[in-house]
Amino acid sequence: MSEKIQGKGVIAGIAVGRIMLAGQNIDGYLVNYKPADTETEKKKAQDALDAVAEKLQKNIEMLKSKEMLEQAAIMEAHRMLAQDPAMGELIMTKTEELGNAPAAVLKAAEENAAIFESMDDEIFRGRAVDIRDVGKRIAKYILGVKEPELGEDKVVLCGQEIEPSVIAGLPTEKIAGVILGAGSTTCHAVIIAKARAIPTVVGVGDAIDKVADEDPVIVDGETGEILIRPSEEERAGYNEKIQKQQELKAHYAELAALPAVTTDGVRVELMANIGSHMDIDNAKSYGCEGVGLFRSEFVFMGRQDIPTEEDQFKAYKEAVEKCEGKTCVIRTMDIGGDKPLPYLNIPPEENPFLGYRAVRISLQRRDLFMPQIKAILRAGVYGKAAIMVPMVINVSEFKRVKAFIEEAKMELVHEGKEYSDKVEVGIMVETPAAAVMTPVLAKYVDFFSIGTNDLVQYTLAVDRGNASISYLYNHFNPAVLQLIYKTITSARENGIWAGMCGEMASDPNAAVLLLGMGISELSMSAPSIPRVKEKIRSISSLKAKEVLADVLKMEDGDEIKAYLQKVL
């Protein structure tokens, strides 16, 4: 008899296939493992590191040959982890301590992963899975554990957590869907699934125990509904949805090359939020027109020390080049109490979101800020780079940033290094203080980019990670809309551009309001671009202004949300 379980749909689409339980448990293999002497164990660990790096390299080449560039990029990050000298050193130290190579590998990976897991930022927490994944791969190699085998049928991968390498290592045409017991919208397993447009449901929790290997299953990636052992009638009911899904996919592919322009000729630039230069090729396939947010903190993660100017220059240069003359907005390091880095020695804080973070650290740590500024200015020679400063609350902070930039230029001249004088410098408007002061700030900056994730959180005093008050977190709250409108108006009145790089930018109904306010640019995760583009192309700027006028008379965020749903 069929059974329904419910999760959270994160990648839309209908998947039909058989369950393949992934994320194998290797405890049994570990218990039966008989270690040799310490030197032999160390050699086993080193051989496994080399073999896994080689296997990953083959995977990367295979993925690149199939134009699966985002998956290749994630596997490249895994290969770098497997070949990271610091990781190798820690594994050798643990092998000496424990005298057991696979146990030492898992212990080293766990210690590394724990650092990332303690961070409040969901994206960084997701990296812990990658580190464990690489550790598990190396341990499996030593233990002789085989990877999952594929049969004739399409499979729906299912596990509490699934290692990104499992999804990346299987051919796309064989994976119908993905079900995660845990998982978040930003974990690497989901990012890979998103790049391949594989219907995915996360957050199933303990209900995942009801799913057995080889069970036939239907997964609805939009509603989050999972149907185990469906009847013939239930299967037939989904056929129409599958047909519509294929038509929509073809339609979105046609949109990629078209501009985001309203029916009466008003254009909005649609750009991508990225974590690495390796994300850009994938973003282009969705029709992005440059990068609106490069989260530079990724260049600082997973290391034992501060990246040099040269390390940073290489990463930024590659991103700027890949944008092919379109803007690449690089946000300066947004690190702090909620995203600690061990080598910065920042003490834990009671309230990290209101603490020592982002520009507050940059302005006090010349050793961090100066190499980053110089690297971005140098990368600007290879295209159109822009510097974006996070968490600014007043004019004096921005003036100090500008002084740093002028000093960086003088140092580069002195060192005989080429740099661009055309790099725009703007701020992220993510605090109510900055939004209120935009009429003044607009006189000093080249652009504003509205970071709604934090702006909503700070304006409404709602922790966005707290499930019990998540119903209060609403980017259509009139207080938030007033601050956004003020920011865009201040930009227009001072002849600079205003964009948005928070989650709100990927909401098609929000895009209509922002269009009415006069926004120039929207930046979002790449797969959201077609939906937002379609909405913009289907409406006139006049209609957008009418909708905005109605919304500005309303007093409640939920009322606004419902109204937009109805009229759009």
Q: Which of 168, 234, 169 is nearest to 14 (CA)?
A: 234
183: pLDDT strictly greater than 80: no
Q: Is 165 a member of any domain?
A: yes
Q: How far is CA 195 from CA 231, 280, 290, 548, in A?
A: 31, 12, 18, 34
Q: Where does a domain end: 182, 213, 229?
A: 229
- Could you confirm whether 501 is annotated as catalytic? yes
Among 422, 333, 426, residue whose Cα is nearest residue 379: 422
Cβ neighbour number for residue 303 with a 10 Å cutoff? 14
Who's near 87: CB < 8 A, 6+ residues apart?
Answer: 81, 108, 109, 112, 134
DSSP string for residues in 52-83: HHHHHHHHHHHHHHTT-HHHHHHHHHHHHHHT
Instruction: Supply the DSSP string of 209-250, one letter for each residue.
Output: GG--TT-EEEEETTT-EEEES--HHHHHHHHHHHHHHHHHHH
Distances in whole angstroms, Cα of residue 552 to Cα of each of 162, 260, 549 = 45, 25, 5
Same domain, 12 and 123: no
Is 555 within a domain?
A: no
| Statement to judge: residues 340 and 380 lie in one domain | yes
Alpha carbon distances (Å) from 17 to 13, 108, 139, 169, 524: 13, 37, 30, 18, 31
Could you tell me if residue 281 is inside a domain?
yes
User: Both 50 and 169 in a single domain?
Assistant: no
Strands, DSSP E only, in 454-529? Answer: 497-500, 521-524
Whether residue 156 sits in one domain with residue 133: no
Name the residue among 179, 122, 229 with its Cα closest to residue 8. 179
Nearest to 70 by CA among 207, 272, 300: 272
549 assigned to some structural domain:
no
pTM of the model: 0.71
Q: What is the CA 421 to chain-centroid distance, rounded?
A: 30
Q: Based on the residue annotation, tell me whether 188 is a catalytic residue of this protein.
A: yes
pLDDT at 465 over 70: no
Running DSSP on this structure, what letter comes out for residue 369? H
Asked if residue 559 belongs to a domain, the reply is no
Euclidean distance between CA atoms 155 and 166, whole angstroms = 12
Task: Report d(CA 277, CA 283) in Å as an integer.
Answer: 10
Residues 61 and 19 in one domain: no
Q: Which of 78, 158, 187, 188 is catalytic?
A: 188
The answer on 17 and 29 residing in a single domain is: no
Mean pLDDT, residues 412-432 taken together = 98
**Is the pLDDT confidence value at 30 over 90?**
no
Quote the pLDDT of residue 148.
63
- Per residue in 357-411, pLDDT (tens digit) is 999 999 999 999 999 999 999 999 999 999 999 999 999 999 999 999 999 999 9
Among residues 242, 146, 224, 154, the alpha carbon closest in space to that of 183 is found at: 224
Distance of alpha carbon 377 from alpha carbon 386, whole angstroms: 9
pLDDT at 171 over 80: no
- AA letter at 292: G
**Number of residues that make up the chain:** 568
328 and 186, same structural domain? no
Which pLDDT does position 241 carry in this prediction?
84
Q: Where are the alpha helices (DSSP H) in 144-215?
A: 164-169, 188-195
The residue that leads in pLDDT, 430 or 182, is: 430
Q: Which domain holds residue 372?
A: 259-540
Task: Tell me: do 221 and 269 sit in the same domain.
Answer: no
Predicted pLDDT at 376: 98
User: pLDDT above 90 covers what percent of the chain?
Assistant: 58
Q: Which of 42-56, 58-72, 191-205 ranks highest by mean pLDDT?
A: 42-56
Domain boundary among 143, 160, 185: 143
Residue 329: inside a domain, yes or no? yes
User: Could you identify the residue written with the tokens 């080689």?
Assistant: 54
- CATH number of domain containing 407: 3.20.20.60
Same domain, 52 and 108: yes
Which of 158, 288, 328, 501 is catalytic? The answer is 501
Residue 448 in any domain: the answer is yes
Where residue 171 sits, what CATH number does that domain have?
A: 3.50.30.10
What's the pLDDT score for residue 23?
66
Q: How many domains is the chain built from?
A: 3
Q: Are residues 158 and 217 in the same domain?
A: yes
- Tell me the one-letter amino acid at 244: K
Q: What does the mean pLDDT of the chain come to?
A: 89
In this model, does residue 281 exceed pLDDT 90?
no
Residues 378 and 488 in one domain: yes
Position 61 in a domain: yes
Residues 303 and 204 in one domain: no
